[in-house]
Amino acid sequence: MRTNQKQAIINRALFTQRSFDSSQISVLSTLIHRFEEAGDYEVFISRTNRTPARFVVTVVEGDAPYQHNLDLSTLENPKERDCCREDADLRLHTGGVLGFYNSQGVSTFQVRIVRLGSKEKQVLFNHAEQIPAGDFFTVTPLRPGIYRVSDALNKAEMALKVMMPPSPEQGKVEKVTKVKGERPPSTYRPDQPLLVSVGKKGFDRREASLFSGQTLVFQVQSAARLRVELEKEDEAVTSPPKKRPDKPARTKKQS
Amino acid sequence: MPFTDRSDLFGAVHEDGINRLVRHIMRQRPSLFNYATPFFHNNAELFCVKFEVDDKVLKAKNPLFTEQEPLPILGAPVPIGLNFCLQLTDAQLDFHPGNVFGLPPELGRLADQRFALRLKGCMGIDCPPKELIDELLPLIERYLVAQQQLAIGETKERVPGISTHYTPPSSAFDNRERERPRTVALPTRSLICFCLELYAVGHFEWGTVPGSQQIWLKTRLDGLEIVDIEPKDMESAIECYLTTVLKLGILPRLIIPLEKMVLDISKEFQEMGLTLGRTVTLQPSAVPADVPNNPAVEEDQIKAFLKLTVTGGA
Amino acid sequence: MADLTVAVSESAFQRLFVVLRDSIRWEAQDMTNFGPFTAGYHVKGHLEGGSVDFRADNSVLIDELDVRWDKFEFTLGLDIPEICVGGGCINMPWPIPDICLPRWCVFSANPDISISPDLAAFVAQELSVAGRPVVRYYDASIPPPVIDPCGFLRDILVDNSIIDPFPDHNQWHIHLNPDFIDLDLFDFADIVGNLIENALTAAVTALLPGGWVRDLILAIIGGIADFIRWLLDIPDEIDEWLSDLFNISFGLGDLLIQLIGEFFGACVPLIRVDDPLEVLEKEISTSVLLSGSPVELVAVTVPVRSLSVYVDNVEMVVQADIGG
């Protein structure tokens, strides 16, 4: 019997990420900035030792989308960009958001937004310094364990427990009528985020729990600088797999 | 009773079918049954017996007869001869019991397992008219005298020779070529034709042919009779000549390989594109173990009994 | 009485049948794209066993012929969809639209897997055919009908060198018109389903690194078995799905039945007899002319009339007359 598979490259960076910092956008984290006022804005995306990428965002009251998610790892390659040719505007509705994230690799990015039109360039937002109120910062931790969440500006902390999701039923499927085309029911869904608020009084809870792969969304109500660090890994899960015991020999007559 | 009660395969041809087959062969291969000098190519109307020829023979411009050298005029100082034709017509076969035609008393009753053949042979020989003889005779005499070829020997008088279209060129006598000069036929206006009826009795037997791997059905001649020739010795001589012609000239051409007697199974499968992994052969059923006669000539048919043998393969 | 009679005994036919049966081998392959997966087969087979019976009602029965597969390779290719973490949306109070979150996918490119188990050991069918000999006259001068289903099949068989094309001269054709053709459907046992499921599981598992990462990915996709079923859009039993695939989607059984039926039936004659039939081949003779020049003498042919065939308990008889 032959089995063959196309070259499948694992996105290794996802599984090695242990800490997240709101001043740097890495894999599994997202910065979501809300544009409250109409106008033209210039966005600078910087990366260590690289020339910043830049583009213009036009925020309007009229017909424009409310959200764009930008994969920062594609910005340097014009062919891969899902937005923004050098001279093209990115249009956004007033109150809309730009989401900045990195889909792969170990690079980190920083975002700076400048409002255009005034005599002096007014730096609206420099996320290396802080996340302004009204914005969001998300992390999607994969490594199971206990994480420490801290806000340096508001001097707040909370605990985040990340658990391995329950393993699905193995072996024969129960003989129940299934509707063709439907995914089988599962107790775990990675696309169910958890919303946590952070403000002057700190986090709205002392601890939170997630399954690995789910997203924790920090709703910033006053400027914050957030950090999430893996303090204690779940050893039982992440330790190297034990060597499989040899198959027992066929039973022989014992003398 | 089933056809195959004593064999795997059975094939039979009725005498009516054979006689129709022979008529087809006579029409499509006339050169087997008509022998004549080249003169007849342009004078087919002088044949003793008119014969039918299939259109495809004419289209293919096949010869209607097998060419023969003219009958030589013995003693003539130059190679001259007479046109002639020999035709075999009205061929018929009769299988035991005989009911297609009657046999002459000399051949008796048609015995078991025997077949009878009736052939009409007609021969036409040119008879030069007196005027032509009278025209040629002085030329021949002069030639003989000029060439000193008289029976009496040499003469003192030297007579100059002449050339006629009957005189072969001197190069024809050139020893370097060492070819016998072709016989030139005298002009023909009409033939004297005569026909003789010939009856023959024979039987079939299976045999081999040197160099061939397969079994062949052969026709063997038991007796031959020409009706009413005088004197009897001449009849005998001619019968002998014809017997020889049949045995050595005609009948060997008619031997048929085994597979032609029945449906050629191997060839059929090959034509269907099926490559058999085994060798499928047809062998005559054994005599007398399987059948009393093989082939059997009875009930107005010739019957063949065959065994199917499968050999080789996995 | 007929001019020509040829008879074949039942026992000779049985021996010939064995040779024919052993010569028949076939090979077929096909691949179909069903969307999320591709499926195909590459099969080779032959025949074994069976018996031939001449019956008093002018029919021939070929019974319990075993269809054996030398190769029954089933190829299944799955396009593994994205396996991602994150995603979902943040519910915002009206009138603010929800904010949707990006996803991070485990593989940089959607991988494919493909398995090709050979199921030959698990597939076997039985074939029975009963037919009657029928004689038809092929007139080469008549053009084929506008709609010629037989022509299409014959073209396939000719192109694949299974039969020779019909000639440009007339022929008598003897067909075995099937009264029925009974071929077992493809019926795959449970063990086949397990075999395929295990192969797919192994192929998917091989894509994944070990340890907790694998456990996480398995949790995301909800288990390989269910995942595979979801991808293939199949009910519980994979072997039932496989049977339907071969019987209905591929129609392999129908293809075999059609080939057998048409082979023996109206479209492809079992035996062909030329009309006129050549009894003496054309020959080049150098003895017809005195000069010795070669002359190509035409072949001698005889017309064949009234060809008939019948079968009784012990033999098959073909009879014909020679035309004038």
Convert chain B into a string of H (helix), E (strand) and C (coil).
CCCCCCCCEEEEEEHHHHHHHHHHHHHHCHHHCEEECHHHHCCHHHCCCCCCCCHHHHHCCCCCCEECCCEECCCCCCCEEECEEEEEEEEEEEECCCCCCCCCHHHCCCCCCCEEEEEEEEEEEECCCHHHHHHHHHHHHHHHHHCCCCCCCCCCCCCCCCCCCCCCCHHHHCCCCCCCCCCEECCCCCEEEEEEEEEEEEEEEEECCCCCCCCEEEEEEEEEEECCCCCHHHHHHHHHHHHHHHHHHHHHHHCEEHHHCCCCHHHHHHHCCCCCCCEEEEEECCCCCCCCCCCEEECCEEEEEEEEEEECCC
Which pLDDT score is estimated for C297?
Answer: 93
Mean pLDDT of chain B: 84
| pLDDT greater than 80 at residue C299 | yes
Q: Who has greater pLDDT, A11 or B19?
A: B19
Q: Confirm whether C95 is domain-assigned.
A: no
Total number of domains in chain C = 1
Q: Who has greater pLDDT, C41 or A86?
A: C41
The CATH fold assigned to A27-129 is: Immunoglobulin-like (2.60.40)
Query: Which of C273, C280, C322 is the closest to B29 by Cβ?
Result: C280
% pLDDT > 70, chain C: 85
Q: Any chain C CB within 8 A of the CB of B102? A: no
Global pTM exceeds 0.80: no
Q: How confident is the model at residue C268 (pLDDT cuts 50, 70, 90)?
A: low
Give pLDDT tens digits for A219-255. 999 999 999 999 998 876 666 555 444 434 433 333 3
From residue A17, give the alpha-carbon distance in Å to each of A11, A228, C120.
11, 11, 48
> What is the Cα–Cα distance from A207 to A149, expressed in whole angstroms?
9
Q: Confirm whether C19 is domain-assigned.
A: yes
Q: Confirm whether C93 is domain-assigned.
A: no
Which pLDDT score is estimated for A170?
Answer: 44
% pLDDT > 70, chain A: 72
Cross-chain Cβ contact B28/C323 below 8 Å: no
Q: Any chain C CB within 8 A of the CB of B10? A: yes
Q: Tokens 């020959």 — which residue?
A: C283
Q: Tokens 């081949």 — which residue?
A: C281
Cβ-contact A125, A112 below 8 angstroms = yes
Q: Confirm whether C91 is domain-assigned.
A: no
Which pLDDT score is estimated for A2?
Answer: 45
Q: Who has greater pLDDT, C91 or A4?
A: C91
Phi first, then psi: what are they for C218, rounded to 5°?
A: -60, -40
Which pLDDT score is estimated for A138?
Answer: 96
Q: How confident is the model at residue A162 (pLDDT cuts 50, 70, 90)?
A: very high
Q: Confirm whether C88 is domain-assigned.
A: no
Q: Tokens 């004038």 — which residue?
A: C324
Cross-chain Cβ contact C199/A240 below 8 Å: no
Cross-chain Cβ contact B280/C16 below 8 Å: yes
> Which one of C212, C228, C237 would you mutate to disrupt binding with A, by most A Cβ within 10 Å of its Cβ?
C212
Q: Confirm whether C216 is domain-assigned.
A: yes
Chain C CA closest to residue A3: C115
Q: How far is A118 from chain C (nearest CA, A)?
A: 28
| pLDDT greater than 90 at residue C26 | no
Q: Which of C177, C171, C187 is nearest to C307 (CA)?
A: C171
Q: Which of C273, A188, A79, C204 is nearest to B268 (CA)?
A: C273
Please give the radius of gyration of chain A, using alpha carbons only, rounded to the nearest integer. 23
Give the contacts of B89 (CB within 8 A, at least 6 positions apart): B26, B33, B49, B51, B119, B120, B121, B122
Q: Confirm whether C96 is domain-assigned.
A: no
Which pLDDT score is estimated for A55?
Answer: 85
Cβ-contact C101, C88 below 8 angstroms = yes
> What is the Cα–Cα distance from A242 to C210, expressed in whole angstroms?
11
From residue B5, give the alpha-carbon distance in Å to each of B291, C6, C14, C155.
10, 13, 15, 41
Encode chain B (314 residues) as per-residue pLDDT tens digits.
Answer: 899 999 998 989 999 998 999 999 999 999 999 999 999 999 999 999 998 899 999 999 999 999 999 999 888 888 889 999 999 888 899 999 989 999 999 899 999 999 998 988 899 999 898 898 898 888 888 888 888 778 787 778 777 776 666 655 554 444 554 456 688 888 888 899 998 888 999 988 878 899 988 778 788 899 999 887 889 898 889 889 888 988 899 889 888 876 665 444 666 566 656 667 777 777 778 777 888 888 899 999 989 888 888 777 54
The span from the first CA to the last CA of chain A, in angstroms, equals 40
Q: Any chain C CB within 8 A of the CB of A179? A: no
DSSP C252-298: HHHHHHHHHHHHHSSSS-SEEEESSEEEE--EEESSSSTT---EEEP
C-alpha count within 13 angstroms, C-beta hemisphere, residue C24 = 21
Cross-chain Cβ contact C84/A190 below 8 Å: yes
Cross-chain Cβ contact C315/B14 below 8 Å: no
Average pLDDT over residues C311-319: 92
Q: Tokens 């039109």 — which residue?
A: A117
Stretch 281-300 of chain C: residues touching chain B, C-beta under 8 Å: 285, 287-290, 295-300
Mean pLDDT of chain C: 81
Average pLDDT over residues C274-294: 89
Which pLDDT score is estimated for C265?
Answer: 58
Which residues from B are below 8 Å from C317, CB to CB? 3
Give the contacts of B127 (CB within 8 A, at least 6 positions apart): B82, B190, B191, B192
- Three-class SS of residue C231? helix
Stretch 130-149 of chain B: residues touching chain C, C-beta under 8 Å: none
| Domain parsing of chain A, residue ranges | 27-129, 130-165+192-236
DSSP A47-91: ETTEEEEEEEEEEESSS--SEEEEEGGGTTSTTT-SS--TTPEEE
| pLDDT greater than 60 at residue A77 | no
Which pLDDT score is estimated for B69?
Answer: 93
**Two tokens at B198?**
């010939």
Q: How far is B203 from chain C (nearest CA, A)?
A: 20
DSSP 8-state symbol, C175: E
Stretch 87-116 of chain A: residues touching chain C, C-beta under 8 Å: 95, 97, 99, 101, 103-104
Which structural domain range is residue C148 located in?
4-79+108-322
Stretch 63-82 of chain A: residues touching chain C, C-beta under 8 Å: 66-67, 69, 71
Q: How confident is the model at residue C19 (pLDDT cuts 50, 70, 90)?
A: confident
Chain C CA closest to residue B35: C288
The sign of the dihedral angle between the CA atoms of B257, B260, B264, B268 is positive
> Which one of C73, C78, C98, C101 would you mutate to disrupt binding with A, by most A Cβ within 10 Å of its Cβ?
C101
Q: Which of C234, C243, C253, C246 is nearest to C40 (CA)?
A: C246
Query: Which of A3, A11, A138 is the closest to C105 by Cβ?
Result: A11
> What is the Cα–Cα distance from B157 to B160, expressed in whole angstroms?
10
Q: Confirm whether C46 is domain-assigned.
A: yes
Q: Any chain B CB within 8 A of the CB of C156? A: no
Query: Which of A168, A192, A238 is the closest to C212 by Cβ?
Result: A238
> What is the Cα–Cα distance from C216 to C210, expressed in whole angstroms?
10
Q: Any chain A CB within 8 A of the CB of C86? A: yes
